[in-house]
Amino acid sequence: MTERPTTRDAFLGGRLHVLQPRDGYRAATDPVFLAAACPARPGQSVLELGCGVGVASLCLAARVPGLRITGVERQAEYADLARRNAVAVDLTIVEADLSALPADLRQKSFDHVIANPPYFASDDGTAARDAGREAANRLETPLVDWITVARARLVPKGWLTLIQTTERLPECLAALQDGFGAITVLPMQPRVGRAVTRVVIRARKSARAPFRLLPPFLIHESVAHPGDAPDFTAKAEAVLRHAAPLPFEDATGCI
């Protein structure tokens, strides 16, 4: 198979440089925010479901030293790029579908599971021209199955962290009722006056703490896109450029 062209893209203000397909699915800010929401501590273990080229796992490793991270990716091309991106990090890439994990992985438990499940249902809209982009964006495995697999792989009191579209928040919350508590939702507001389109969700296995809805996290300063000029808020800049955590600590006390 002919290898497709790639680009080497900077994340976290240049602390990371990641190979991505030039024309396929390309990570942007969402995996960075996902990594910033995970309350992992040095020495803990993390499983990323649907890791793509590894951006979220690599951003998490850059913020929290000494993690043992495993990424699961079903697309061979993306799994290969993730391995190439992880040469200097304790990140193991497993090429598999999350609905059919290898037996050795099913025997392991993790302190954290993170995931950025595809945003679009299998029958939503027009398919992308690129097969890799289509597979990354189109949800073939139901969200409830992602959450069920995560719960099975978590240690008791382990944390699940997700990023998802606002319209799928009810589906996520319904699935989390089985086996999770301390569910906390952080709305990610793109601009002042704009509707929230993304949410970051954190939940703890076997916990009993009540549901929390945090104030929105504002990503951009201006009310309209100012062209090519960057306009991230200071808090978003800290996360995206300097590997700061997202502000969950007031809700959980765990960062």
pLDDT confidence of residue 255: 34
pLDDT confidence of residue 198: 97
Extended beta strands in 140-179, E state: 154-165
**What mean pLDDT, rounded, does the chain reach?**
90
Q: What is the mean pLDDT of residues 161-183?
A: 97
From 79, 164, 157, select the one nearest 115 (Cα to Cα). Answer: 164
Class of domain 28-247: alpha beta
Q: What is the mean pLDDT of residues 199-221?
A: 96
Contact status, residue 196 vs residue 169, Cβ threshold 8 Å: no
pLDDT confidence of residue 161: 98
pLDDT confidence of residue 121: 66
Contact status, residue 131 vs residue 25, Cβ threshold 8 Å: no
Q: How far apart are CA 20 and CA 189, in angstroms?
A: 27
pLDDT confidence of residue 62: 96
Name the percent of the chain lying above pLDDT 90: 80
pLDDT confidence of residue 2: 56
Instruction: Check whether 130 has a pLDDT greater than 60.
Output: no
pTM: 0.89
pLDDT confidence of residue 122: 53
| Paired tokens of 23 | 């024309």
